Each structure stands twice: as C-alpha cells, then as structure tokens.
Amino acid sequence: MNPEKPQGRGQQADPENRLERREQILNSAQACFDARGFHATSTLEISKAAGISSAGLYHYFSSKDELIGALIERELKRVLSKMDALKHADDFFAELEDFYYQISTEELKGFSLGLRIESFALATRSKPIAKIVDKVNTTFLHELVQVVENAQRLNQVDPTLDPKLTAAAIMNITWGFFTQMCRPENTRADYLFVTMNLLKAGLSTKQQKA
Amino acid sequence: MNPEKPQGRGQQADPENRLERREQILNSAQACFDARGFHATSTLEISKAAGISSAGLYHYFSSKDELIGALIERELKRVLSKMDALKHADDFFAELEDFYYQISTEELKGFSLGLRIESFALATRSKPIAKIVDKVNTTFLHELVQVVENAQRLNQVDPTLDPKLTAAAIMNITWGFFTQMCRPENTRADYLFVTMNLLKAGLSTKQQKA
Amino acid sequence: MNPEKPQGRGQQADPENRLERREQILNSAQACFDARGFHATSTLEISKAAGISSAGLYHYFSSKDELIGALIERELKRVLSKMDALKHADDFFAELEDFYYQISTEELKGFSLGLRIESFALATRSKPIAKIVDKVNTTFLHELVQVVENAQRLNQVDPTLDPKLTAAAIMNITWGFFTQMCRPENTRADYLFVTMNLLKAGLSTKQQKA
Amino acid sequence: MNPEKPQGRGQQADPENRLERREQILNSAQACFDARGFHATSTLEISKAAGISSAGLYHYFSSKDELIGALIERELKRVLSKMDALKHADDFFAELEDFYYQISTEELKGFSLGLRIESFALATRSKPIAKIVDKVNTTFLHELVQVVENAQRLNQVDPTLDPKLTAAAIMNITWGFFTQMCRPENTRADYLFVTMNLLKAGLSTKQQKA
DNA sequence: GATGAATGAGGCTTCATTCAT
DNA sequence: CATGAATGAAGCCTCATTCAT
C-alpha cells in the first residue's frame, strides 16, 4: 500500500508470492531437519533460517507437523520426477542402479537418508504424518508397477512375474538399502552390489531354457 | 514382609535383586516406548509404569539415552537367541521365513517394528545410540555370516557366494521387510512371500546345470 | 490500552521498551538475589517478581548465569558513576570515606555487600562469571589509578608512590572493608575509622621533613 | 562382635575410632569442596570420596550444613595454631608477611582461598553457618589482639594505638588480601608488597621524632 | 502479512535426606 | 554402625504456539 515500502519483490496478497515464500521456508526447514532431525529442530530455528519471525511461520503452516508433512510430500514429487527415467529406461537394471546411486549420494538434493527413515519412524507415532507417508508410499509403489511393466515389456524383468508383487519386492529391497546406508560403517559399493545382485537374480528373465 | 517382594526402601543385600529390578524397569520402559515412541515417552511415564519415583530411575540408568541404549542392546540378545535355530536349521529358507514371521508378529515379545525403525532413526542423531546400534548391527551381521555358511554347507545357499556379502544381502532385505511391515496397509503375507522369493531366487543353489 | 503500560503480549515496535523491560527484570532479580543469594534464588522466583513467566525470562537472558553476569556488570557501572566524585575530589580522603560510607549503607541502591562477596565466590567456580568479575575488577582498578593520580596532583597522596600499586592497596583495603561489613557484629563506625586511618597513614604525603 | 570380621582397625563403638572416621570424612569433604565449591559438591560425592555410603555420612553429620560448619571450625583451629608463631614473634612484620605468604600458597594445607570467601558468602545466607563464621572471626580477632599487644611490647607496633582497633585493621587488610588473591590475574608478589606496606605505614612505631 | 513478546506445559535431571535391612 | 534403595521437591531450561500491535 505504501509505495515507499515495496519490500523487495512486493509483499501484497500476491498468491504466487505466497507460494514462493512457502517454498523458501520448506527449503530452510529441510536444511535444518537434515542437520538435526525432526525432533531436535525447533520451529524457532526454522523461522530464523527462513528469515521470518517465529509467528510468521504460522502464516504458511498451521503447525510443525503440517510443515513436516508438506516436506515429505514435496520430497515425493522430487523422487517421482526421477522415476521417468526409470519408466522409459532401455536398460532397466542399469538405470535402477543409477537411481540408487543418486539417492544414496543425495545427488537428488532431497531428503537425507536419515530423514527418510525418520519419516517412517514418525509415521508410526503420528496419524497425520502416517497418512502422508502412506500416500507417498502408495504413489511410489504405483509408479514402480509401471516401471516393472515397462521392464517386462523389454523382457528384462521376467514377464511371468506379477507386476504388483514385483514392485513390492523392489520397494522392500530399496528401503532395506536406504536403511543400511544410514549407518556410515556400511560400504555403499558393497551394498549397492548386493542389492542389485539380489534384484537381478530375483527378477530378471530366466534365459536358461533358451 | 513379603519375601516375594522385598522391594521398597532399604538394602537388598542380594545383588541379583538389583538386576531384576533393572530388568523390570526395562520392561516397563519398553512397553511405554512401544506405545508412544522414544521421544514422546517421558521419563516420568516410565518411572510411573515401573512403580518408582522419577528420581529412582536414575539409580539404574544414568540418563534416558542410556536406558534406550540398554533396551536396544537387550533386544539384540533376544533376537540373537532366536538365531540359533537359524544357525542349525535343516531347512534354511523355511526357518528364515519362520524367523521373519515371528518378528513381524512380535511373537518374540521384543521391540515392536516401529521401535526398531526408530532406533535406526535415533542413531542418525545421537552418537551414543549410534554406537550401540552399530554394535548391534555388526553382531547381527556376524551371526548371519555363520547362518549363511551353515546353509552353504547344506548346499541350500549357493556355496560359491561370498558369505559376507550374502549376509549383507539378507540384512538388507530383512530391514526392508521390517520397514514395510511398519505400515499397516502393507499385507504381511504378500511381503513375506515377496521377501522369501527374492532371497530364494538370489541365494539358493542353482540346479539348472544338472 | 494504557499507553503507559504497553506491555503484555504483542510487539513493541519500540526497541527502547525491550531494554526497559530488561532493566525491570534486572531490578527484580537483584531484589531476589539480595534477599536470598544467587544460589537460593530460583529463576521462577525471579520471573514471578518480574511479573513474567518463567519462560519469558529467557527472552531477555539466555541463562541464569547470564542474568547474574549482567547484574554484576550493571553494578559496576553504577559504582563507576560514583567514582567521578572521587576523581575530581578536592579532599581525597574525605571523599573516599564518603564513598565507603555510601556503599556500606547501600545508599548506592546497588548490590548488597553480601552479593558483592558472593560474586567473588561465584567467580571462583564459574568461568563465565569469573570473566565478568575480572573485567569489573580491572575496570575498577583502572579508575582507581586515575583517582590516585589526581590525589597525587593535589599532593594529598604521596606523589612518590607508584599509582598502580597504590590503587591496588586501596582495592585491597576496600574489599577487606566490604568483607568485614558483611558480618553485622562488626561496627561500621569502627571499621570505617580503621580503614581510613590505615589508608591515610599509608598513602598520605609525609610532611615530617618540612 | 564377630571375630571373623574385625574390619580393618576395629569398627566397634570405640569412640576414638568414631572421631578418626569423622576426621577422614572432613578431609575428603574438604578436598571436594576445594575443587568444586560448597554448592556444587553433592553429599554423594563426599561420601564416595570418603568411602562410605551416602547414608553413612549422616551417622557423623546430621546435615550437609553441619558438615560445612564443622569444616569451617576445624579450619579455624588450623589457622590459630599458626598464630603462635605470630604471638611470639621477634620480628612482627616479617612473621606476618610469612603468615600471609603461607596462606596464599596454601602451605597451610587448609581451605583454599576460594573456600574462605565462600564461607563468608554462605554466612550471609545461612544462620547456622553465620554463627560459626562469626565465632571463628571473633576468635581470630581475639588472637590478633594478643598478637598486636605483643608487637607493641616489642615496640614494633606503635604502643599508642588501640590494640582492638589495630587488630581490626589487620583483619580488614587480611581479608582484602584474601579476596584479591582469589583472582588469578592479581599478582601475589605485588599484593603482598602492597599489603605489608600499608600495614607497616599504618601500624609501626613512628621514629621520626627521635 | 508480519512481528516480537509472552506463555503453559512439560522435559530431564539432581539433590539432600530417610528408611528398611 | 552401615548400606543401597528410594523419594519429594525442586531446578533450569525448551518448545510449539498465540496474541496484540
């Protein structure tokens, strides 16, 4: 209203601006959570990191839990975007390995592995978070089904396998990999190798009868 | 007065008594943690559940973290004791499936799966807990190696496989299973099936060359 | 509603207000400490006396120790302000006697003598407090040097004396006086007399050679 | 009673033994207090250092405050014993300087200077401790009077001075010295020099009219 | 929309002391 | 006399959230 105070890029009720700010806050929050975990990070820390007042946070998120939920959901989108490559992969197993590799080195710039596990743990205790985590998992699983079907079309994954169960198998082993990668004593190379071996042995089209 | 309950104030010349009491506290604590998680359970709750004063807790554990650590360690022992069956199994895969089955139904009367995941998450944030979790994992892995070697001797697991990497593969998939079982939407039967299939396909002795 | 008391919740755009509130808290804290000592006064007592919640205290001071430190520092300023009179005194010894008199009757409205001694005792045990107490002492000593130099210029204090050592002597005897005044059985008049005599005998310009 | 359990040097109701044990406890307590101060030292620490149970402590002292009181009183005796040398000194000022020197280097093996100040501070807050500290001071002052009278007899201290007031002056300056010595930034040599100078100037027999 | 102040509730821990044995 | 266990009371501090401006 006051032309003398345009405050940066405008701060009016511009709805786009609002979303942008929200995103910034999520970024700051993610950095804090990554560093110290959900529980150990206070809303004050987050607001400071985001450059707002602690009350300001509540204009964008109605509670800390909501913020965490939003973060988990956003993270899903980020991961899903990486799945297109998988869905249209020519070499399914190679692409999958690359996917694991990226996630475990956090090249995805998303959640740290620790936060991923923490989300799961949190879901055990908080209904709202549980809802979101479940939704994320369902979506992810659903995508995996498509990935599997594509790989079956290419005859890289055994076409006789049930796509849903196969997706579940991948999900299973993927989370196992995440879990193990959380402990720094575990060597990534080894676990990546082992993980892929298991998947190849279990899923790939058997060629012995040719 | 009641020789079965020499508790209350005063000295129990019996050093065994102390350990027993400690164990009782661990039990109460486990129940609380199982119900509400590590973070949401207060030391006051635990002490109440254990029938002591809040201060009394600190005669047995020097901090909440130590208590949690002791619990995690105790849990390891419980699980390890179940591994003897695995080590001397005649039918490795059948026994393993039973092991998973038990753990996922908590027939082991140990940690809930949620707590297992929570331990992992906690380890990411707390050095002391990390130490204990790592120790637990190392021990568990070490036992798995022996389990694998036995299964190889029986020619049920492919003898050409490296025992250590194979144990890691089992570890990986086991934790994946735990993780998935934490979400009630996931059907145990399905995941158990999928998990076992993956392991059988990946590890069992190939007979195609006969 | 009352423009004189814009307190309560909400933002006081006035940054001065914050300092004022801080000062109020310091006043309340000082009263409590004076009455019961540093250790025996709880943060709750202080906050009640200041009319805030226990948590509110921590908006102004990050810990009880910091509060104590701030108090000690503030006290220094109060005392220093009284030293101008000394620095520009026409009759050094008379002015000094008055200074002692004031301090020992707490006309300075500052720390009670007990608190002064307690600060010293605390400094022996707490590094942060030690730092502040040392700074206070150094400043005080430094001022005393100037006081001495002025008195030497007036030929009331022997000009051949080393100003620094002389200041130390005054410091020494001053603290001795404080200490003794803490015990109510000691008569102020006597000790004031004794203290001044010692100082006069030790410091004043010798005239016997005239 | 049981000849099989003579427990070291006998533990029967031997009253002498009791006193010995008490003394041992006082020693341990003093060490703890010296290291951490009265407040920061817990009765548990003391009992551990003394090699008794925490309940055992209460067989010898009815409370922590009583223990502290006993310690302060014991300390007085130790210091008093060092005053004989002063009372019969040939060279009063030299002997006094030595006395200061010893105390400030803790060659007396008694209280640290910090504890001395702390005692004073404590006396401001606790009636029972106040009583003891006052008694200690009175006794000490009384002894000083005799010391002064002796020095006057030797014509080293001006015989026209009132012995009581003179003793008070020494007391004053002594405590000032103690206080300053508590802060490590203050050089002992300087303060010792200054202290002695002040005393000599203020108290010694004036010879200018000879 | 934004803020700094304020807070109720609660968390973990410590301590001096007592009691039954 | 000696002890280990037990505890009530309290202490300091933190946090998610709200309110007045």
Considering chain A, tell me which residue range(s) the CATH 1.10.10.60 domain(s) occupy. 12-61
Chains B and A touching, counted as 3 or more CB pairs less than 8 Å apart? yes
Considering chain D, tell me which residue range(s) the CATH 1.10.10.60 domain(s) occupy. 14-61
Q: How confident is the model at residue C107, as a pLDDT?
A: 54
Give tens-digit pLDDT for C129-173: 999 999 999 999 999 999 999 999 999 999 999 999 999 999 999
* HSE-CB for D132 with a 13 A CA cutoff: 23
The domain B69-203: what is its CATH number?
A: 1.10.357.10
Question: Which residue is the nearest neighbor of F6, CA to C1'?
Answer: B9
Question: Which residue is the nearest neighbor of E12, CA to C1'?
Answer: B43
Q: Which amino acid is located at A99 in the chain?
A: F
Q: Is A204 helix (H, G, I), strand (E, B) or coil?
A: strand
Which range among A23-32, A197-206, C82-91, D104-113 shows the weakest confidence by mean pLDDT? Answer: D104-113
The one-character DSSP state at D185 is T
pLDDT for D102 beyond 80: yes
B162 or D78: which carries more pLDDT confidence? B162
Q: Are C114 and C37 in contact (CB under 8 A)?
A: yes
Instruction: Kindly report the number of other CB atoms within 10 A of residue A119's CB atom.
Output: 23
**Based on C-alpha coordinates, what's the Rg of chain A?**
21
Q: Which of C174, C180, C202 sits opposite D202 (nearest CB)?
A: C202
Distance between the alpha carbon (CA) of A45 and the C1' atom of E5, Å: 17
**Chains contacting D (3+ CB pairs below 8 angstroms):** C
- Shortest distance between the Cα of A2 and any Cα of chain B, in A, equals 47
H helix runs in chain C, sequence order: 15-36, 43-50, 57-60, 64-87, 92-105, 113-125, 127-153, 163-181, 188-203
CB contact under 8 A, D125 and C175: no
Q: Which of A165, A185, A197 sits opposite B194 (nearest CB)?
A: A165
Considering chain B, tell me which residue range(s) the CATH 1.10.357.10 domain(s) occupy. 69-203
Instruction: Kindly report the number of other CB atoms within 10 A of residue D58's CB atom.
Output: 16
What's the rounded Cα separation, in Å, for the pair B18 and B7? 10
Give tens-digit pLDDT for C86-126: 888 899 999 999 988 888 876 556 788 889 999 999 999 99
Nucleotides of chain E in contact with protein CB (under 7 A) are 1-21
pLDDT for B56 beyond 90: yes
For the domain made up of D14-61, the CATH class stated in words is: mainly alpha
The domain C13-61: what is its CATH number?
A: 1.10.10.60
The domain C65-203: what is its CATH number?
A: 1.10.357.10
> What is the number of residues in chain C?
210
| Residue D140 phi, psi (nearest 5) | -60, -45
- The sign of the CA dihedral A70, A74, A79, A84 is positive
Nucleotides of chain F in contact with protein CB (under 7 A) are 1-21
What's the rounded Cα separation, in Å, for the pair B28 and B82? 22
* Check whether domain A73-203 has CATH 3.10.20.30, yes or no: no
For the domain made up of D72-203, the CATH class stated in words is: mainly alpha
Place of tokens 């100040």: D117
Distance between the alpha carbon (CA) of C43 and the C1' atom of F13, Å: 10
Q: Which residue of A has its CA nearest to B134?
A: A183
Contacts of A198 in chain B (CB under 8 A): 169, 172-173, 198-199, 202
Q: Which of D123, D125, D198 sits opposite C169 (nearest CB)?
A: D198
Distance between the alpha carbon (CA) of C105 and the C1' atom of E6, Å: 38
Q: Which residue of B has its CA nearest to A41?
A: B125
Nucleotide minimizing C1' to CA distance for residue C61? F13
Q: Please give the share of chain D, as a percent, with pLDDT higher than 90.
A: 60
Contacts of A186 in chain B (CB under 8 A): 168
What's the rounded Cα separation, in Å, for the pair C135 and C114? 20
Contacts of B197 in chain A (CB under 8 A): 169, 202
Q: Which CATH architecture has domain A12-61?
A: Orthogonal Bundle (1.10)
Which range among A2-16, A89-103, B188-202 shows the weakest confidence by mean pLDDT? Answer: A2-16
Contacts of A123 in chain B (CB under 8 A): 182-183
Give tens-digit pLDDT for A129-146: 999 999 999 999 999 999
In B177-194, which positions are buried (b, 16+ CB within 10 angstroms) versus exposed (e)? bbbbbbbeebeeeebbeb
Distance between the alpha carbon (CA) of C57 and the C1' atom of F9, Å: 22
Q: Which residues pair with B204 in a beta bridge?
A: B157
Q: Which of B37, B137, B185 sits opposite A125 (nearest CB)?
A: B37
Distance between the alpha carbon (CA) of A55 and the C1' atom of F18, Å: 8
What's the rounded Cα separation, in Å, for the pair A149 and A171? 15
Q: Which residues pair with B157 in a beta bridge?
A: B204
